[in-house]
Amino acid sequence: MRVIEAKMINAVNSRENFALANTSVHYIKDCNYSEVYLHSHMIAIKYHDTDTLEVNTKTLFDWPTVTTKSRLRALGANVTTKKGIIYLDGVELI
């Protein structure tokens, strides 16, 4: 795991705001969730009450970069690519 991803995860788990290079975390206290951004595009929301991760599939589909997928995997998302097709939890993104 990259250093920036470890810091990102620490910020999410600590419910803190964080920004470094192209990655940022915004903790929304009133709603108790953290939004994770890459290059100013929201890639995921971590809901702290239910400990669930919601991947922004539109961003993943539009920018299926190595970095996007790496950040999402670091957060616990099951993102894979096979023969150029992106899968989230084994389901093809369309």
Encode pLDDT of 21-49 as tens digits. 999 999 999 999 999 999 999 999 999 99
Looking at residue 94, its pLDDT comes to: 83
Per the rule left: phi > 0, alpha: psi between -120 and 50, beta: everything else, 83 is left
Confidence of residue 1 (pLDDT cuts 50, 70, 90): confident
Query: How many Å apart are CA 87 and CA 3, to the nearest integer?
Result: 25
Q: Say yes or no to pLDDT of 17 above 80.
A: yes
Per the structure, the complete domain to which residue 33 belongs is given by 3-92
Query: How many Å apart are CA 67 and CA 17, to the nearest integer?
Result: 20
Number of domains in the chain: 1
State pTM to two decimals.
0.95
